[in-house]
Amino acid sequence: MSDIVLGVGASHSTLMNTDWAKVDHLEDAHRFRDGLERAAERLRAAAPDTVVIIGSNHFRGFFLDMMPAFTIGVGEVLGAGEALTPGGPLPADTDLARHLTTSLVDDGFDPAFSLRLTVDHGITHGLQHLVPDLDIPIVPIVINMFAPPLPALRRCHDLGAALGRAIAADGAGKRVAVIASGGLSHRLPWPKWFETLSDDDRFLVEAWLNGRGSWGDYEVRRRQIIRAAEADLNPAFDAAFLDLVENGDLGPVLDRTTTEIDEEAGNGAQEIRSWIAMLAALGPGARGETLAYAAVPQWLTGMGVAVVEPATTKEKA
């Protein structure tokens, strides 16, 4: 039996890496970064043997020529290396990854898997700040959070619960941490792939369709589009969601639709799916602690970081 020893949820933004000098004077930016460091300390103290990291894809590993809802990296894992995030081979726990994939299929899911999975900052941003030495093997799980139709929030919760059961049945005696990378409220200047209204929209969809093997060719204009975007944050949504994480009960959001989340908190808030799956994996009785929150318009994102402790054996009983 393996045990989940800690959960972590953390927003990501490549602008934090590339444009730090522009926010170095802001207390909010430091508050979030300090929160990440505290979460990294909690992870070190938990001493996991493996990290299951659940995050999104920003069209550098997956493209519109094939877009699975859930994908597990079961072999090589390669960081895309965009925007100062880790690039190249990352340590992988292939035994646990295969076990999770098989267990999910037996549990009624149909995850895709990859023997050579490229992950972008949807996975690697959180990894570089929470596991900065990159010295713990990972199992990356990528959820489609940007190319509609997206998996329902409740389906992501069920997936997380199935992951928790699979980890408990692993039989390898490992200490496992689960990281959720993404969210909270933010709106990216991205179109729906079937609804392109401007030249920038058409450029992005072309990059998302044809960028496999050449995504770097699209980076300059893509970064220009991102930097030109106006922030659209909803701190009230973020505060309510973090309260649910602290209470260990995400029930009030699980029946929200993709459209409702988009309208209230932005298309980037679809990344709360990773937090939902993480919390479900830790199981009933898990409780969260918000380490930091700051709405950082310079990064276009509500930046939150929280840790989640599993229920003790006594609490489970």
Active site residues: 121, 186
Measured in Å, how far apart are the chain's first and last C-alpha atoms?
Answer: 18
User: What count of other Cβ atoms lies within 10 Å of the Cβ of residue 65?
Assistant: 10
Helices 121-130 and 27-46, packing angle to 10 deg: 80
* DSSP 8-state symbol, 281: H
- Helix (DSSP H) and strand (DSSP E) numbers for the chain: 11, 9
Can you tell me which residue has the tokens 């908190």?
265
Q: In terms of Cα–Cα distance, which of 61, 70, 64, 56 is closest to 194?
A: 64
Would you mind telling me the total number of residues written for the chain in this entry? Answer: 317
